[in-house]
C-alpha cells in the first residue's frame, strides 16, 4: 500500500479482468442464445455461468473505478474525483475515452438491472437492452485503447487483440446462427399452416420398462437414427397413437442427453383410450408418431426452488432437477399413496440425498402440509400433480412464486353461462360461435390453420393471438396474467368477455 503505484496496479489489473469477464459474458450469452454447442451444453449452467460472469464483471468494473478514485497521483495531477469518475466529459484528462468508459458503466448497470427485473418487464425490452452488451464491449475497447497509460506495451496489445477478436467472433456467430434460427422459425410458422402431419416424426419404442405400479416408461429413439430435437426442462411431447388418439406426456430425464426421448405413462382409471392403448398395445420395437417437444412449464432462473410432485406429476419435474447445477439450492416434496405407485422414487432419493422428502400415505399416514410449506418458503414453487393439490397451492402461494402444470384441467366454469361469441380472423372472415360450441371447433370448420390436441385447455396446442377484444380464460395452461401479458388465448375452452374477439395464429 506504501508503493505510490499500488492503486495504479489495482486499476490496471481490475480493468483487464473486468474486460476479460465482459468478453466471456458476451461469449456465454451467445452460446446461450444460439445453443451452438447444444449437443454438449446445458442451458441451466450456461445461464448460471453467464450471470456469475456478468455480475463479477460489474464488480471488477467498480473496483477499477474505485482504485482510480483512490490513486493519489490522479487526484493530485489530474484533479480526478467522483464527478470526473461518473459524469461524462467532466474530466479534462482524456475526456472522450473516459466518457466512453462511463457510458459503458451505466449501460452495464442498466443491462444487469434489467436482468434482475426480467420477469417484470416486457421480454422485448429486456432483449433490446441485452443487445446493448455488444455496444458496451465496443465502448470498453475504445476506452481501454485510449485511456490507459500502458496501451503501447506488448502484453496489453496481445490481451486487447485477443479480447476484441473473441468478441467479434461472438457477434459473427450470433448473426449467422441467429439468422438461421429466424429462417427455421419462419419455416416452422409456414409448416403450421400445413396439415399437422408434416410436423410429426416417427420414433421407435427402444425400451419399455415398468417404473411403478400402473406406470410404464418408454424410451423413444428416431426411426432414422441420430439425435432427438432440442428440448428444455418442463417440455412435453404429443404422441399420435395408432388408434387415432393424441396424448401429451412430459419428457423425463436430462435435456442435455439427446440420444432419446423418455416418457412415463400412468394407466388412468378413467382412460379414454390413450394410456390404455400404450399400456396394453404399444410394444418395444414398434413405431409411434410424435409431434415436436413443446414447453409451457419453463424453468425460470431462480436462487431457490421448491418442487412439489403428486404421483405421476413427478414426470414434469425430473428434467428440471437434472438440468440444475449441483450447487443450486432446491428441494423436492414427493407425495403419493404408496412407494409402489411412485415412479423414480428410489432413484431420486439415492441421486439427490438430503434434497428429496417422500411422503407415502401408506407409510406415514395423514396429509403432508405441502401448501403451508410452500406458502412459508421464499422459493419459486414448481408443482405438478392432482387438481386438489394444485388448487391448495394456488390458494396459498402468491402467483409470482407459483408455477403449475396440470394434467387434469381445473374446473373454471362454475357460475359461468356460455354466451355466443363473434370471432374475426384476418383473411378468413367473421364467425358466430354458438354457446354450445367451442371457438376452436368453429374455426376448424372454417378452415383456420389452428389445431387442438387435448381440447381441455391443458396442452396449449391451440394457442391463438388476441388482436382485439377481451378473452375469458377458462384453460389451465398458464396463469391468466401470463396469457394476457403475452396476448394469447386457448380457444378449445376459453370464450370472450367482450362481444367480439379478433384472433390470429
Contact stretch for ligand FES (CB under 6 A) within 237-245, 386-394, 410-418, 446-454? 446-454
Cα-flanking dihedrals φ and ψ of residue 469, to 5°? 95, 170
Helix (H) or strand (E) holding 204: strand 201-212
Contact stretch for ligand FES (CB under 6 A) within 30-38, 40-48, 368-376, 448-456? 448-456
* Under rule CB under 6 A, residue 488 binds ligand FES: no
Helix (H) or strand (E) holding 372: helix 370-376
> Which is closer to ligand FES, CB of 85 or CB of 458?
458
Helix (H) or strand (E) holding 212: strand 201-212
* Under rule CB under 6 A, residue 409 binds ligand FES: no
Binding test (CB under 6 A) with ligand FES, winner from 58, 454, 474, 501: 454
Binding test (CB under 6 A) with ligand FES, winner from 345, 477, 489, 496: 477
Contact stretch for ligand FES (CB under 6 A) within 273-281, 337-345, 356-364, 451-459? 451-459
* Under rule CB under 6 A, residue 217 binds ligand FES: no
Cα-flanking dihedrals φ and ψ of residue 300, to 5°? -90, 150
DSSP state, 290?
E
* Under rule CB under 6 A, residue 405 binds ligand FES: no
> Which is closer to ligand FES, CB of 264 or CB of 477?
477
Cβ-defined contacts of 251-254 (< 8 Å, 24+)? 251/293, 251/319, 252/217, 252/315, 252/318, 252/319, 252/344, 253/318, 253/319, 253/322, 254/42, 254/319, 254/322, 254/323
Binding test (CB under 6 A) with ligand FES, winner from 291, 313, 457, 471: 457
> Which is closer to ligand FES, CB of 140 or CB of 443?
443
The secondary structure of 54-84, three-state, reads HHHHHHHHHHHHHHHHHCHHHHHHHCCCHHH
Contact stretch for ligand FES (CB under 6 A) within 106-114, 371-379, 450-458, 465-473? 450-458
Count Cα atoms within 13 angstroms, Cβ side, for 279: 19
Q: Coil, strand, or helix at residue 348?
A: helix
* Under rule CB under 6 A, residue 462 binds ligand FES: yes
Contact stretch for ligand FES (CB under 6 A) within 52-60, 133-141, 206-214, 455-463? 455-463
Binding test (CB under 6 A) with ligand FES, winner from 214, 460, 469, 471: 460
* Under rule CB under 6 A, residue 471 binds ligand FES: no
* Under rule CB under 6 A, residue 98 binds ligand FES: no
Closest C-alpha among 161, 179, 156 to residue 34: 179
Contacts of 25 (CB under 8 A, 6+ apart): 50, 53, 54, 57, 133
* Under rule CB under 6 A, residue 474 binds ligand FES: no
Contacts of 207 (CB under 8 A, 6+ apart): 217, 218, 219, 284
What does the alpha-carbon distance between residue 14 and residue 57 come to, in Å, rounded to a whole number? 9
> Which is closer to ligand FES, CB of 322 or CB of 477?
477
> Which is closer to ligand FES, CB of 263 or CB of 459?
459
Q: In the bound complex, what is the minimum distance in angstroms from residue 473's beta carbon to ligand FES?
A: 11
Q: In the bound complex, what is the minimum distance in angstroms from residue 456's beta carbon to ligand FES?
A: 6
What does each C-alpha distance from 474 to 71, 387, 409, 454, 487 come to in angstroms? 64, 15, 9, 14, 15
What does the alpha-carbon distance between residue 348 and residue 346 come to, in Å, rounded to a whole number? 5
Binding test (CB under 6 A) with ligand FES, winner from 246, 262, 373, 475: 475
Q: In the bound complex, what is the minimum distance in angstroms from residue 455's beta carbon to ligand FES?
A: 5
Q: In the bound complex, what is the minimum distance in angstroms from residue 301's beta carbon to ligand FES?
A: 26
Helix (H) or strand (E) holding 13: helix 6-34
* Under rule CB under 6 A, residue 99 binds ligand FES: no
Binding test (CB under 6 A) with ligand FES, winner from 101, 274, 452, 469: 452
* Under rule CB under 6 A, residue 310 binds ligand FES: no
Residues that bind ligand FES (CB under 6 A): 452-455, 457-462, 475, 477, 490, 492
Amino acid at each position: 500500500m506504501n508503493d505510490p503505484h499500488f492503486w495504479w496496479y489495482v486499476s490496471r489489473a481490475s480493468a483487464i479482468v473486468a474486460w476479460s469477464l465482459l468478453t466471456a459474458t458476451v461469449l456465454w450469452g451467445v452460446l446461450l442464445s444460439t445453443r451452438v454447442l447444444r449437443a454438449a451444453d446445458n442451458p441451466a449452467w450456461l445461464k448460471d455461468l453467464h450471470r456469475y460472469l456478468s455480475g463479477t464483471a460489474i464488480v471488477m468494473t467498480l473496483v477499477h473505478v474505485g482504485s482510480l478514485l483512490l490513486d493519489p497521483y490522479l487526484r493530485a495531477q489530474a484533479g480526478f474525483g467522483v464527478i470526473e469518475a461518473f459524469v461524462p466529459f467532466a474530466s479534462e484528462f482524456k475526456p472522450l475515452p473516459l466518457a466512453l468508459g462511463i457510458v459503458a458503466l451505466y449501460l452495464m448497470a442498466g443491462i444487469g438491472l434489467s436482468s434482475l427485473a426480467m420477469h417484470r418487464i416486457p421480454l422485448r425490452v429486456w432483449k433490446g437492452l441485452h443487445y446493448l452488451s455488444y455496444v458496451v464491449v465496443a465502448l470498453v475497447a475504445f476506452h481501454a485503447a485510449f485511456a490507459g497509460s500502458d496501451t503501447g506495451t506488448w502484453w496489453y496489445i496481445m490481451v486487447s487483440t485477443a479480447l476484441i477478436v473473441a468478441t467479434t467472433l461472438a457477434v459473427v456467430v450470433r448473426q449467422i446462427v441467429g439468422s438461421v434460427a429466424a429462417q427455421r422459425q419462419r419455416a416452422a410458422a409456414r409448416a403450421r399452416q400445413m396439415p399437422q402431419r408434416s410436423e410429426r416424426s416417427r420414433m421407435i419404442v427402444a425400451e419399455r420398462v415398468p417404473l411403478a405400479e400402473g406406470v410404464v416408461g418408454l424410451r423413444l429413439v428416431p426411426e432414422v437414427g441420430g439425435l432427438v430435437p432440442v428440448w428444455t426442462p418442463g417440455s412435453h411431447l404429443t404422441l399420435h397413437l395408432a388408434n387415432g388418439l393424441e396424448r401429451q406426456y412430459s419428457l423425463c430425464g436430462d435435456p442435455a442427453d439427446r440420444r432419446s426421448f423418455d416418457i412415463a405413462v400412468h394407466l388412468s382409471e378413467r382412460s379414454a383410450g390413450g394410456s390404455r392403448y400404450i399400456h396394453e398395445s404399444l410394444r418395444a420395437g414398434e413405431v409411434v408418431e410424435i409431434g415436436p417437444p413443446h414447453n409451457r412449464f419453463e424453468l425460470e432462473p431462480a436462487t431457490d426452488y421448491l418442487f412439489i410432485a403428486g404421483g405421476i406429476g413427478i414426470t414434469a419435474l425430473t428434467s428440471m432437477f437434472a438440468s440444475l447445477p449441483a450447487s443450486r439450492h432446491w428441494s423436492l416434496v414427493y407425495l403419493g399413496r404408496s412407494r409402489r405407485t411412485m415412479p423414480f422414487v428410489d432413484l431420486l432419493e439415492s441421486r439427490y440425498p438430503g434434497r428429496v422428502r417422500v411422503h407415502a400415505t401408506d407409510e406415514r399416514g395423514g396429509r403432508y402440509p405441502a401448501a403451508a410449506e410452500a406458502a412459508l418458503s421464499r422459493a419459486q414453487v414448481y408443482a405438478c400433480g392432482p387438481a386438489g393439490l394444485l388448487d391448495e397451492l394456488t390458494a396459498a402461494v402468491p402467483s409470482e412464486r407459483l408455477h403449475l402444470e396440470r394434467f387434469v384441467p381445473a374446473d373454471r366454469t362454475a357460475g359461468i353461462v356460455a354466451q355466443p361469441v363473434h370471432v374475426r380472423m384476418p383473411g378468413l372472415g367473421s364467425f358466430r360461435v354458438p354457446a354450445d360450441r367451442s371457438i376452436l371447433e368453429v374455426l376448424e370448420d372454417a378452415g383456420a390453420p389452428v389445431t387442438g390436441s387435448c381440447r381441455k385447455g391443458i396442452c396449449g396446442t391451440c394457442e391463438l393471438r388476441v388482436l382485439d377484444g377481451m378473452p375469458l380464460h377458462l384453460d389451465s395452461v398458464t396463469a391468466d396474467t401470463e396469457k394476457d401479458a403475452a396476448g394469447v388465448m386457448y380457444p378449445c375452452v376459453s370464450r370472450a368477455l367482450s362481444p367480439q374477439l379478433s384472433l390470429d395464429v
